[in-house]
């Protein structure tokens, strides 16, 4: 599982960028009315262990988070050996509207990446890595008008579909087969249409970054958790994190449990931790003492206001 996660760091940064490009030429194939937007819901099903929904343009333009995002992107690019990542791709990612990454914890890696609102001006078929090679080994026009590009990489293999003018969908590993079945085979000659938002249900649509953990990934974290954190992980179904804009500085975490009693125990332990963590780990985390913790049935919500001094440290990260 952890091996897959190491691959995902550069993948999350690199793939949306390398896929960004000039709108594909209009297909001359006669297709039915383009009114199929349910494919995102079908592809990103509830069994995903990791779901990341981010708004790169919001993050990169945010005066607080922008410098940190750019530094993280450069670090990921430097560590990546993926042919998808070229020297111009980081700038493209910062200009994309929305990215959705959905991963299943299987081997080989099973992941879907959807990029919405990519900027025009770069031909997806002419993208090159830093060695001047194309990440694609072939491009095929599907019967419904979609442009499909097969990856040159084979571990894991992937296929990119260009949906509309500004939406790109990449399937990695087994997900590539499911994408073909949903976008091409099931739709017949109907061209899928890009939805207005990629945010999964339950996510804060205005949050520039949200992450949901569940399934095998959550189990792996549960297995390495120290005894003091066990009440937090006991009977935990999923955890969803949401980051507000830098000027608001709110970090929200929602924990959903199988039973009310487990949620009550987790709430009590969380109230203890927000006092202990600043003392045991770092005084810079003193703001956690002011965090609010609320329980409603099986759900526990923790909201922390990130202080301006802490946020300023994030903004200066680019200079380190």
Mean pLDDT by 10 residues, the chain (320 residues): 42 39 34 55 80 85 72 61 52 76 80 84 71 83 89 82 85 89 80 73 69 90 87 95 77 95 96 90 87 96 83 58
Render the burial of 22-49: b for 16+ CB within 10 Å, e for the rest.
Answer: eebeeeeeebeebebeebbeebbeeebb
Q: Distance between CA atoms of 125 and 131, rounded to whole angstroms?
A: 16
Measured N-to-C along each axis, helices 66-79 and 2-19 cross at an angle, to the nearest 10 degrees, of 110
Q: Distance between CA atoms of 104 and 126, rounded to whole angstroms?
A: 30
290: preceding bond cis by omega (within 30 degrees): no
> Do 62 and 249 form a contact (C-beta atoms < 8 A)?
no
Of 273, 270, 274, 266, the closest CA to residue 233 belongs to 266
Of 19, 95, 18, 4, the closest CA to residue 50 belongs to 4
* The pLDDT value given to residue 73: 65
What fold characterizes domain 225-319?
A: Alpha-Beta Plaits (3.30.70)
**Per-domain residue ranges for the chain?**
2-192, 225-319
* The pLDDT value given to residue 89: 55
Burial class (CB in 10 A: 0-12, 13-18, 19+), 294: exposed
Cβ neighbours of residue 243 under 8 Å, at least 6 residues apart? 65, 207, 208, 209, 210, 250, 251, 252
**Two tokens, residue 104:** 């299943």
* The pLDDT value given to residue 166: 80
Q: Distance between CA atoms of 102 and 207, rounded to whole angstroms?
A: 17
């Amino acid at each position: 599982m952890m091996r897959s996660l190491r691959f995902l760091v550069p993948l999350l940064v690199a793939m949306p960028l390398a896929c960004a490009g000039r709108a594909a030429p209009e297909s001359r194939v006669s297709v039915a009315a383009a009114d199929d937007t349910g494919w995102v819901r079908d592809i990103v099903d509830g069994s995903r262990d990791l779901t990341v929904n981010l708004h790169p343009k919001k993050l990169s333009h945010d005066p607080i988070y922008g410098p940190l995002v750019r530094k993280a992107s450069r670090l990921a690019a430097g560590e990546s050996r993926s042919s998808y990542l070229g020297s111009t791709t980081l700038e493209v990612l910062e200009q994309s509207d929305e990215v959705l990454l959905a991963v299943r914890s299987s081997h080989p890696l099973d992941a879907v990446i959807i990029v919405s609102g990519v900027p025009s001006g770069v031909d997806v078929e002419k993208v090159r890595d830093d060695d001047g090679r194309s990440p694609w080994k072939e491009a095929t026009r599907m019967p419904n008008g979609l442009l499909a590009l097969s990856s040159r990489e084979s571990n894991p293999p992937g296929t990119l579909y260009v949906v509309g003018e500004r939406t790109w969908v990449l399937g990695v590993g087994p997900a590539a087969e499911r994408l073909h079945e949903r976008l091409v085979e099931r739709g017949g000659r109907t061209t899928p249409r890009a939805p207005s938002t990629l945010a999964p249900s339950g996510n804060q649509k205005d949050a520039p970054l949200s992450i949901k953990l569940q399934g095998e990934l959550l189990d792996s974290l549960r297995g390495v958790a120290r005894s003091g954190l066990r009440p937090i992980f006991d009977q935990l179904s999923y955890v969803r994190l949401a980051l507000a804009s830098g000027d608001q500085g709110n970090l929200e975490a929602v924990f959903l449990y199988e039973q009310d009693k487990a949620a009550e125990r987790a709430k009590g332990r969380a109230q203890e931790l927000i006092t202990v963590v600043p003392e045991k780990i770092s005084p810079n985390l003193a703001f956690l003492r002011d965090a609010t913790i609320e329980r409603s049935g099986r759900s526990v919500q923790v909201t922390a206001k990130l202080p301006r001094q802490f946020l300023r440290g994030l903004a200066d990260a680019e200079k380190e």
